[in-house]
Amino acid sequence: MIKTMNKTHLNINEIQKIVSIDLLAVNNIIIDNIGNEVPLINDLSKHILASGGKRIRPMITLLTSCICNYNGKNHLFLAACIEFIHTATLLHDDVIDESKMRRGLATANDIFGNKASVLVGDFLFSRAFEIMVANGSKQILEILSKASSTIAQGEVLQLTTINDCNTTKELYMKIIKRKTASLFAAAAEISAVLSEEKLEIQNSLKIYGEKLGIAFQLVDDALDYAGTSALDKKIGDDFREGKITLPLIISIEKATPEEKCFWTRTIENLEQSSDDLNKAIELINKYDGINATLRIAKKYSIEAIKSLDIFPKSEAKLALESIAIIAVDRKK
C-alpha cells in the first residue's frame, strides 16, 4: 500500500507527482504541436501554454485513465487536446473580456494583439481536432466535438446575460455547466471510453467531471469578489465587465430598492466609480453571496467525489477526490 493512501487528501504537488511522467509526455506533445514555421503561432502559443496554468483538465484525463487501468498512449494525446481546446477558449475569452492580465502575466491579446489571439485560438482549436482524429475513436470524437460546441453555446449565452441584472440562477447554472463543466466532463469521460469501460463507468466519470467543473466555476466566481490584491488574479474583473455571476445574483435578488439602483447603475449601465467595487463587495457580503456560492460549490464537489464510489480505493482515486476538495478549498 502506498504511503499517500492513508491521507485524507493530497495537495496539488502530490497529485502532479502521481502523473508526473504522463504530464511531461503531455507537455512534450503540446510543444511538438505548437512548433510551427509561423513564428507568431509559436510565440503566442508558448506565451499562453507555458504561463503556468495548472493543467487541471489534462490531469483529469490522465488520472481518470489511471483509475480505468488504461495502459496505452492515446490518453496523452487526448489530454493535450483538452488543454488545446481550453487554451483556445482562454485566448478568445481574453479578447472578448478585453482582459489585460491572466495568471499574473500580461494576456496574449495585450502583448500580441486581439487579431493574433483570435487566429491563434482558431489554430489551437483546429490542431486539437487534428490530434484527436489521429488518436481517438468515433465515440471520443463525438464527445469532444460536442463539448466544444457546448462551450461555445455557453459563452454566447453568457454574452447575452452581460449587464442583465434580471439573469436568473437557473440561467447562470446553465451557462457555467456549458462553458466550463462540459470540458471537465469530456476530459473525464473520454478516459472511460478509451479504456472500453462499461457505460456505467463512462457515466460516473462524466458526472465526476461535470460536478467538478461546476464547483470549479462557482469558486472562481466567488473568488472574484473575495480575493486580495496579493493574489495572481485581480479581484473585481467580473464586476468591472458587468458579468453576472452567482454572488451578484444572490445579492441582487435580495436588494433593497436603493441597492437595486446601485446594481442598475454599476452593472447594467456600467457607470462605475473607483469606490463602487468596495460597495459591491459590501452588498454581496451583506447577503452572504460569497459563502452561499461556496456552499453550493461544496455540494457539487461532494457529488463529484460521490460519483467515484464505483471505483475501488487507489492512488488515482484519492487524487481525483483531492482535486474536488482543492477546487473548493483554494484561495485563488
Binding stretches for a second copy (CB under 8 A): 36, 38-41, 88-89, 92, 95-96, 114-116, 118-123, 125-127, 129-130, 133-134, 138, 141-142, 145-146, 148-149, 151-153, 155-157, 159-160
- Cβ distance to a second copy smaller for residue 78 or 318: 78
Closest CA to 304 of 281, 322, 284: 322
- Cβ distance to a second copy smaller for residue 148 or 301: 148
- Cβ distance to a second copy smaller for residue 244 or 250: 244
Q: C-beta of 5: minimal distance to a second copy in Å?
A: 40
- Cβ distance to a second copy smaller for residue 151 or 294: 151
Helical packing angle, 169-176 and 138-161, nearest 10°: 140
User: How far lies 16's CA from each of 13, 69, 305, in Å?
Assistant: 5, 18, 18
**Cβ–Cβ < 8 Å for 55, 109:** no
Q: C-beta of 305: minimal distance to a second copy in Å?
A: 30
Q: C-beta of 312: minimal distance to a second copy in Å?
A: 33
Q: C-beta of 133: minimal distance to a second copy in Å?
A: 4
**Cβ–Cβ < 8 Å for 66, 49:** no
CA 266, 268, 270, 271 torsion: positive or negative? negative
- Cβ distance to a second copy smaller for residue 98 or 200: 98
Q: C-beta of 149: minimal distance to a second copy in Å?
A: 4
- Cβ distance to a second copy smaller for residue 21 or 156: 156
Chain centroid offset of residue 319 CA: 18
- Cβ distance to a second copy smaller for residue 125 or 225: 125
- Cβ distance to a second copy smaller for residue 155 or 259: 155
Q: C-beta of 177: minimal distance to a second copy in Å?
A: 13
Q: C-beta of 208: minimal distance to a second copy in Å?
A: 23
Q: C-beta of 118: minimal distance to a second copy in Å?
A: 5
- Cβ distance to a second copy smaller for residue 130 or 200: 130
Bridge partner residues of 149 (DSSP): none
Q: C-beta of 35: minimal distance to a second copy in Å?
A: 12
